[in-house]
Amino acid sequence: MHSFFIYLIQVNIALTLFYLLYSLVLKNDTFLRLRRVFFLSAIVFSLLYPFWTIPTLSDFRISSIGLGEVEATVIVEGANATILQDEDSTARAAVPWTRIISLMYVVVTVIFLLRFIGQLLSILQVNMRSERCSIAGILVYRLKDDITPFSFFNRIFIHTGNHSEAELSQILLHEQMHTRQWHSIDIMLVELVCLFSWWNPFVWLLKREMAMNLEYLADNGVLSEGVDSREYQYHLLRLTYHETAVQIVNNFNVSQLKQRIMMMNKTKSPTLKLAKYLLILPLAFLLVFANSCVNRDKKSGEDATTESVVTTPGSTDTPDLLPEEVGEDNSEVFVVVEEQPSFPGGNEAMMQFLADNIKYPKEAQEKGTEGRVIVNFVVEKDGRLSDFNVVRGVDPLLDSEALRVLKSMPNWTPGKQREEIVRVRFTLPVVFRLKGKDTKDSSSASASSAPVKASVSDEVFVVVEKQPEFPGGQEAMMKYLSDNIKYPMVAQENGIQGRVIVNFVVEKDGGLSDVQVVRGQDAALDKEAVRVIEAMPKWKPGVQRGERVRVRYTLPVVFRLQN
C-alpha cells in the first residue's frame, strides 16, 4: 500500500479515537474553551503523530508461547521463494483492486475538493455583491439576498432590512465573537481534513461537534455582554426558517438550535470535572507507542526482505555489495554475499528439520489458523543464528512457534565474501498449513520441495536442492546489472528511487520467462528492471533429485541515487 494511504489510515484511527473519547466522556460538560483546545489539539496531533517514534518504545516486544503438539503439514519455502496460487486464485488476483480502489478514492476526493472550491467561490461572489457599511461602529457587509447572517474570518455579512435594532445588536455581538476568536480557522481546518477523510463517518461527526461548540462559544459571549437570555433565544427562533449560507462559514442560525438553547440554560460543570481532559494523555501515548512499534516492524522488513538484494546506484555509480548494518563487534552484516550461508545438509535437510520439530499449536489448529510467518535472522561467523525478527506474522501462536524452532536450529555453514567469513542476514518464510483443508496444496506439502503449479511434467518449483544461478555467481550478476541498467532520466530528475521486486521462471535450459514486477516503485524504474532482467544471459538451471527443473526466482533491484 502506498505510504500516503498508510499515513491516512493512521490519521483517521487517531481522529476516530479522539471523537469516541469526546463523545463518551467530555460531551456533557460546559468547558467550551477547553473543548475547542481539545478539538484543535486532536486534529493537529493526529496529523503529526505518524511522524513521531520513540526508540525506547519501538524496542518493546510482545512474546507468545506455543501450545501443545498436533500433527500438521509445515511447508518451508526458500529464502527467495515466491509461492504462486492455484489458477483460479491467480485469475482473481489479476484484478488490480488496489489501483481501482485508489482511483475511486482520488475521484471522490476531487469531487469534494471541487465542492470546497465552489463554496469558497460562492463566498467571494456574496462578498462582491454585498455593500460595505458601518453599523454602530462595526464594519459589516450588507447582504442583498435574504439569507441568515454569517461571518467568515474577519468579515460579517448581514441583511439589515429583516431585523429590528435589538436583533441587529445581538446578531452583531454573536458574529463579533466568531471573528474575534478566529473561529473560521477551526472550520477550515476540519473541512480540509474532511476532504481527504470523507470515507470516515467519525470525521464528519467530529466536524459537526466542532461547529456546534463554536456556536456555543459565540452564544456564551453574547450572554456575557448582558443580553437577556430569553430575548436572545426568541431571536434565534425567528431566524429558524431563513436560508443559510455555505457550510464553511459561521452561521448565526444552525439546524441544531435546540442544543444551543439547552447549552445556554445548562448549569456550569464543576471544576473537578476538568480532570477528565487528562485522558487525552494516555490516548496520545498509546498512539505514539503503536506508531513506534509499526515503524520498528516496517524498518526490519525493509532492511531484510530477502537475502538476494542487488543495489544499483545512479547511472554514474559503481555497484558494490552493501553492508546492511554494523554489529556490536564492528563486523558488517551483509544481505548479499558471494557464498550464501546454508543449513547443514542443504535445503532438503532444513525442510526435514522443520517438519520434524515444528509443533503446530493446538489452539491455532482448533481455530483453523494458517498462513506464512516470515522471519529473518543473522547467521554469525561461527554459524550461530542471532537477532531473530518476525518481519510479517500471522498469529502470535504461529509466530512464537516459528521463532522457537528456528532458534533451536544447529549452527549453519556461514556465508563468505571475498573468501572471508562474514555475518549475513537471512530471511526465511515458513508456511503453516493444516492437512485436509486444501487438497491441491497438501499434495505438494509432503514433498521435499514446493512446486507452485499443479502439472507434473512442467512443475515450477520455488525450493530445490540446487538453486539456479547467474553465470559467474552473485558478483557477476551485480556487475551485469551495473553495466546494463540505465537509470531513467525522468526518475533521476524527480529524485525517484526505491526497490523494485521482480520474479521470473528460470527454465530447464537456463532461459528466463514470465518476468513480472511483484512490487513496483515507479513505472520508469519498473520498466527498466524488467528490461535488463529479460536481457540477461541464460542461467545455470535449478536441479531437483538430479534432474533440471523450472524454478521461480525473486530478485529485488534497488535503484539508489547518490546525493
- CA 79/CA 450 separation, integer angstroms: 13
359 and 422 belong to one structural domain: yes
Ranges 171-180, 414-423, 456-465: which has the least confidence: 456-465
Q: Is residue 4 part of a domain?
A: no
Residue 330 in any domain: the answer is: yes
358-388 residue pLDDT tens: 888 888 888 888 887 888 898 999 999 998 9
Q: What is the pLDDT of residue 445?
A: 31
Question: What pLDDT does residue 65 have?
Answer: 31
Establish if 46 belongs to a structural domain. no
Per DSSP, helices labelled H in 312-457 are 347-357, 362-367, 396-407, 439-445
Do residues 122 and 246 touch, judged by C-beta distance below 8 A? yes
Give a yes or no: residue 191 inside a domain: yes
Tell me which of 246, 269, 292 is where a domain ends. 269
Q: Are 250 and 351 within one domain?
A: no
* Structural domain for 497, as ranges: 73-95+304-560
Is 31 inside a domain boundary? no
Whether 139 and 226 share a structural domain: yes
Cell of 47: 496529523
What digits encode the pLDDT tens for the residues 304-360?
A: 333 333 333 333 333 333 344 434 445 677 776 678 888 998 888 888 888 888 888
The confidence band for 278, taking pLDDT boundaries of 50, 70 and 90, is very high
Count CA atoms within 13 Å of residue 331 on its CB side.
13
Over residues 101-119, the pLDDT tens digits come to 889 999 999 999 999 999 9
> Are both 105 and 91 inside the same structural domain?
no
- What average pLDDT score do residues 125-151 get? 87
Q: How confident is the model at residue 408 (pLDDT cuts 50, 70, 90)?
A: very high
Give residue for cell 498462513.
371
Query: Is the residue at 319 inside a domain?
Result: yes
Residue 392 lies in a domain: yes
Of all residues in the chain, what percent carry a pLDDT higher than 70?
77
What band does 93 get if pLDDT is binned at 50, 70 and 90?
very low
The pTM of this model reads 0.51
Judge if 362 and 462 occupy the same domain: yes
The CATH number assigned to the domain holding 498 equals: 3.30.1150.10
Range with lowest mean pLDDT among 11-15, 221-225, 442-446, 492-496: 442-446
> Which domain-ending residue is among 269, 289, 322?
269
The cell numbers describing 283, all together, are: 490516548
Domain assignment present for 20: no
Measure the CA–CA gap between 426 and 423, rounded to whole angstroms: 10
**pLDDT tens sequence across 162-213:** 777 888 888 889 999 999 999 999 999 999 999 999 999 999 999 999 999 9
Residues 132 and 260 in one domain: yes
pLDDT at 77: 36
Does residue 124 sit in the same domain as residue 145? yes
Q: Specify burial of residue 150 (Cβ count, 10 A radius: 0-12, 13-18, 19+).
A: buried
| Choice among 179-193, 335-349, 411-425, 524-538 with the minimum mean pLDDT | 335-349
User: In the predicted model, what is the mean pLDDT of the chain?
Assistant: 78
443 in the same domain as 411:
yes
**444 or 457: whose pLDDT is higher?**
457
Tell me phi and psi for residue 549, to 5 degrees: -135, 160
DSSP, collapsed to helix, strand or coil, labels residue 177 as: helix
- Residue 197 and residue 322 share a domain: no
| Contact status, residue 446 vs residue 415, Cβ threshold 8 Å | no
Closest by alpha carbon to 451, among 65, 159, 86, 162?
86
Shared domain for 345 and 219, answered yes or no, is no
**For residues 496 and 561, what is the distance between their CA atoms, to the nearest angstrom?**
8
- Please determine, for residue 428, whether its predicted confidence score (pLDDT) is greater than 70: yes
Q: Give how many domains the chain has, as a whole number.
A: 2
| Co-location of 229 and 158 in the same domain | yes
Same structural domain, 86 and 153: no
Q: Is 563 exposed, middle or buried (0-12, 13-18, 19+ CB in 10 A)?
A: exposed
Mean pLDDT, to the nearest integer, of 15-31?
Answer: 93
